Amino acid sequence: LMAKFTAVAKNNNIKSLVAIGGWNEGSIKYSEMASTEEGREKFTGSAVAFVEKRGFDGLDLDWEYPAKRGGSAKDKENYALLLKSLSEKLHSKGYLLTVAVSADPDTIDNGYDIPSVNRYADYVSLLSFDYHTASSDNFTGLNAPLHEIPGEYGTQLNVENSINKWLDGGVPANKLVLGIPLYGRTYTLQNPDFHNLGDPIVANGTAGQFTRQPGFLAYYEICMDNNWQNVRSGDGDLIYAYNGDQWVTYDDVSAVTFKAQFVMEKGLAGMMAWAVDYEDFMNKCGAGENPLLTAATQAMRRLNTENEFTSKPEYQLQIATAQQQLQIAPAQQFF
C-alpha cells in the first residue's frame, strides 16, 4: 500500500510524507523518548530509515502535545532538541521535515520554543480546531471559529489569534499551514429550548451512525441529516445547528471559503484538513464530491487570479490519503 501511494505521488509531482504521532498516540511516550539524547537518536535514526526504505519525501511530526497530556515541563526544551536531531538527519539527505502543532495559546507557550520550530521545520501545520468540545466545557462552543465571536467564552480561542501567536513568535507566514476540520463537535443540551452559543450542556452529543464516536460527527453525517436547524452568520464565523437536545458546531462551504481568503490575505503557505474520510467524498448530500475541499481550493485559486499575487506560487489541491490528511499548498512545494 505504501509503495503504491508513494508511486502515485511521484507520478503526479506530489511530495509524500509519513506522519508520526497523532491524538491517539498520546504524549507520554514522546515525552519519555525525547528526554534523553539516547532516546532521541534512536527515534530519529529509525524514523529516517523508515522514510528512506519506504520512498517518502519526508516526515511529519505530530506530537500531541509537548508538556501536555501527561508530558513533562521539560518537553519544551526536549522537543526543540528532537527537531534539531530530525532536521540534521533528514535535511542532510534532502528530505522534508514538517510539524503539526497546537493552536491553544497555553499549549503554545508551554510546549514550543517557537524560534527552534522555525529553525528546524520546513512547514508548520496548525491544528486549528477543537477550540471547544463537550469533553472540556460545560456549555456550547464553536469548534474552529476564524475570528473572535463577541460574547463567546475564551476570546483567544480562534484561528486568527492562533495564527498571529505563531507569527508573532517568529514563524514566517510562508511556513504556516492553516488547518480546517472536516468534522463537527457535538453536544447534548441541558434544555432543548436553550440552544444558542454558550448555553448549558450535559454531555457529548450522540454518536454518529458511521463514526460511532460520542461528541463527534463527520461532515457527511451532518449534511445528510435534514432535521438540523442551521444558524449562520454572513461572515462564515458563526455556524452551528441544533435538533432537539443535540447541538453541533462545524465548518461548511462558506466557512472554509472565508478561511481560504484569510490564508491568501495573510500570505500563509496553504491549508490542510483533517481528515479526508470525513468529507462528503461520495456526494451523499448533493453538493458534489468533496464540497469543502473543492470550495477551499477554488477560493484560493480565484483569489490568486483576481488579486494577481505575482510574488506567490499558484495554490493547488493535493491529497495524501496514506495519513488521512489533505494539504492545499503552493504548487510543487509539499504533500
Q: Which residues form the catalytic set?
A: 64
Extract the C-alpha cell encoding 238: 458563526
